[in-house]
Amino acid sequence: MRAFLRIVAWLPVLAFPAWGCGDAAMASKRSDSGGGYSPGETAGCHRTEDCPVGLECRQNRCVTPEGLPPETETPRTFLRPAASAGHVYVLSPDGDSVAIIDTEALAIRTVAVPGEPFSIALAQGADRAVVLSRRGRAVSVLDRGGTVLHSQPTARRFGAVSLAPDGRSALVWTPEGQDPDAGAEGIVGIVDVAALAAGTPAPIVERAAGRRHTDVFFRTKAGASVEAVVVGKEEIAVVDLFDPEAYPLPFRVVLPPAFAEIATREAQSPPGGALVLLRSVVESNLAVFEVDSRTMHLMGLPAPPSDLDLSWDGRLAVAVLRSIATTAWFPVPEALGDASLVRLVPTPLPGHGCDSSPCTVAPGQAVVAPDAASALLFTNAAASEAIGRLDLVTGAASTFELEKLVRTVGVSPDTKTAVVVHRSEPGSTVADAYEHAVDVSEGYSLVDLCRGGVQLKLTDDVPPQEFAFTAGGKHAGVTLRKDATREFLVDSVDLETLVTRTASLASAPGYCGALPDSGSAVERIWVSQEHAAGRMSFVGLADGSVRTVTGFELNSEIRQGGD
């Protein structure tokens, strides 16, 4: 079947009454696709030829035609622990093991796996983990909290495992940024997880799927995951999971030239995987790949999108058009064939440190709230001490003034509160001594999205690292770390009062995350820490309690406590 291109026009809709803030149902964000590249990462340059196609070299930076670098998004990471309702799984690449920590009893089970476990995926709705070992060239299934373990060789060294939503199959692959094993350039492996979990592993089926892979998505029909959609540098490959022997060659469609530059593009797919949407900072179209029909469309926008975000259910897309200070949003898939459903509104933000006052800058990123009724807008490529909020029902826009520059933003599960992590401004020239101290300090802000209040939390020279909202939605946790002075902290944030309290950690925090809803655990988060023997803390954000387990990488001298 031959791919074809179709141009879809855009049509602005500008009618925006005022909006308010009511109660919102809690919803979960979609899961990450497991890619290894973060949009916005570009190296320094000496000439334009050193930059990704479409960017220009100015003052040793690769920038877009409007003179700004691509927005920096939160990078995807490997070796991050994974949490289920009852357990946290921690990879130990050096110890060739996986520690499974019971989140209530803090009991630990350490399971040996083939060498260098490097990537882990959890099955939805089941306490089952799939672990990929890189040096050991194997994939393993841990079931029921680690009480069952089956492994099988992969024959090649892969760097990532992506588990299909139905939990019956997985894809092992090499993400962009990792060196492929000899002969493994663009090779992916289909793992029959159901057979492996039953102790009767089927051979891993390898398929050639292009090269330099950035994303893996799954097409699901009637609850069954039937295809894997692999996004590579120049093409998309569709790999059959239902009957791979019948389709030895994956279907491939070549990407339009603007979307073949990894450094300036982003791929998104709604749940179910019927579509793959790609945006590029140098192209005023979205590329839309329809998986079932194997067709590629170009959907027109009035300017290149600097960010693209989907609602948790994938039914709504928000595209930020930084070069014209405008935000577009539209229903998916309805707007793909009906340009009148695309809505546009100007969304400038107050600028900071401009030569003239007042001045504005354009937002470059969007975070769609869990209820899909609003989106927060911000930029970390230009100087702005504000975030915007766009009501995705009425189209009304509003601005929240802050005291510091923005690094990243998150929205609470009930959509009533935002956490804004700031970046310091060491070159601040403001004359007021206190305001200068605010500029150069690290910190974060808590924004009451309903009533408009903003509470700044300065953390001096200790930078915030990560934050997580609890499943119950009443608290957030923020980790802070300064290695030079051994200041390792976690802040408990009451989202109803915006009051914070700080607890010390015994060693440097690495990652943190919410514990899935399991009754008593809804107001706790986990925090992994750097320690030769392995260390994990469980922080009760309602009471400030910190329970720590240490020593699970040694599988001996395991102790509980705060140090």
pLDDT of residue 24: 40
Half-sphere exposure of 189 (CA within 13 A, CB side): 24
Buried b / exposed e along 168-180 (16+ C-beta atoms within 10 A): bbbbbbbbbebeb
Does residue 467 contact residue 509 with C-beta atoms inside 8 Å?
A: no
DSSP class of 196: H
Helices (H) and strands (E) in the chain, counts: 2, 46
Q: Among positive and negative, which fits the CA dihedral 306, 309, 314, 317?
A: negative
User: CA 411 → CA 230, 255, 446, 449, 472, distances in Å?
Assistant: 30, 33, 10, 9, 14
Distance, C-alpha 209 to centroid of its chain: 24
Contacts of 41 (CB under 8 A, 6+ apart): 72, 75, 263
Residue 93's nearest CA partner among 69, 121, 116 is 116
Q: Which residue has the tokens 């089956």?
A: 150
Are 360 and 325 a contacting pair, CB within 8 Å?
yes
Phi first, then psi: give them for residue 63, nearest 5 degrees.
Answer: -130, 160
- With tokens 């040694």, the residue in question is 554
End-to-end distance of the chain based on CA atoms, in angstroms?
A: 62
The CA angle 397-401-402, to the nearest 5 degrees, is 135
Cβ atoms of 274 and 290 closer than 8 Å? yes
How many Å apart are CA 249 and CA 133, to the nearest integer? 26
Q: So where are the chain's domains? A: 32-38+73-269
For 90, half-sphere exposure in the C-beta direction (CA atoms, 13 angstrom radius) is: 34
Closest CA to 492 of 427, 550, 558, 538: 538
Sheet with 187-192: list strands edge to edge: 160-163, 169-173, 187-192, 205-208
Least Cα distance to 111 among 126, 87, 95 occurs for 95
The tokens 């995350």 sit on which residue? 513
- CB count in 10 Å sphere of residue 15: 9
Low-confidence ranges of the chain (pLDDT < 70): 1-43, 75-78, 355-357, 517-522, 553-563
pLDDT of residue 432: 93
Query: Minimal CA–CA distance to 33: which of 130, 146, 160, 162?
Result: 162
User: Cα(319)–Cα(411) distance, rounded to whole angstroms?
Assistant: 18
d(CA 250, CA 244) in angstroms, rounded, equals 9
Domain 32-38+73-269 fold: Methylamine Dehydrogenase; Chain H (2.130.10)
CA-to-CA distance for 46 and 217, rounded, in angstroms?
37
Closest CA to 109 of 144, 82, 83: 144
Predicted confidence (pLDDT) per residue in 177-232, tens digit: 898 887 788 999 999 999 999 999 999 999 999 999 999 999 999 999 999 999 99
The alpha carbon of residue 367 and the mean position of all alpha carbons in its chain are separated, in whole angstroms, by 11
pLDDT tens digits for range 65-97? 889 999 988 765 668 899 887 889 999 898 899
With b for 16 or more beta-carbon neighbours within 10 A and e for fewer, the 406-437 pattern comes to bbbbbbbbbbbbbbbbbbbbeebeeeeeeeee
CA 62 – CA 315 distance, rounded (Å): 34
Its pTM stands at 0.88
Strands laid side by side in the 417-423 sheet: 405-411, 417-423, 443-448, 454-458
- Among residues 61, 103, 33, 70, the alpha carbon closest in space to that of 560 is found at 103
